[in-house]
Structure 1
Amino acid sequence: MPLTPLDIHNKEFARRIRGYDEDEVNEFLDQIIKDYESVIRENKELGNQLLTMQERLDHFSNIEETLSKTIIVAQEAADELKHNAKKEAQLIVKESEKNADRIINDALSKSRKIALEVEELKKQASIYRTRFRSLVEAQLELLKQEGWETLESREASLEPKEVY
């Protein structure tokens, strides 16, 4: 058990002949008591400071641990968000490519249909022109026949004559 200032103060030494000067020993012991009390007080203060610092260290360690966990969670969330964004972008690209293919196929189909319709119209125009030519030629043949001159002379005789 450590010595206390009270132990030092109450300590009595046996007396002998030719011993130490009692006043001098008492003054020295008083100085030791004072210094020892000061050391004990300082030791308690340092112990209290140590406890305070340990509590602060624990507090900051907890904050550091919480921040580390928060950073890890935030990084994981950011990575997941980035991954999801890439997936979504890939889906959008694929969907756009499908739509583009569909639009191109529709346009090609319409183009083929229009080309067929144009060909059909060209054929019909050619047939119409041939028939019209045949009709006109037939009409010309009719006009070239001999019966028309007699018809013209009859018309001239039937015309009313002017009276003056």
Structure 2
Amino acid sequence: MNPEIVAADAFAAWAPDGAAPLSWTRATQLDQPAFVLDVDAPYSAVLVTQSDSWELMLVTARGSARPFLGPIDDDPAVVFDSLLYALYARAQHELEYRVRTASVTLARVLGTLAASANDARYGGRAALLLGLHAVKDERRSDAADKLAQAITLFEAARDVTAADTAREALQLLRA
């Protein structure tokens, strides 16, 4: 059997155990098994098996990117962690861009996936990103709520540095 199909089947079988319900749909992309993440058009994020590797095909305000997430024979949990990191990195990268819509939608998907997998680290990162977007949009109440959520999640993950960073942002917002 095609190794990309085997890897996608293994990932799909693993995902409901550790990360259900996920914000994605199984699909075929470039004639390869793929998972289309729930990102608002005109942007997209597709987890695809390609040439013996997992890649994330991204289209955002800053253009296209295809971060390598690992070989197709990696443990699905490792691929999932790489996926979370790639989503976070791209959302953070676009935070300062003039068009932040892709960053917001990637942060929301990140938050959904992290919550589904009970991953407080990435849940905190998603909440922090959404809080920072709310600050930029001058929605102080939403910003305070998201920053407080980020602090709680970072503390649950025992990430003291990230919790302190979110706490400082919340204090600046309240000043």
Larger Rg: 1 or 2? 1
Normalised to the residue count of structure 2, the TM-score between the two structures is 0.16
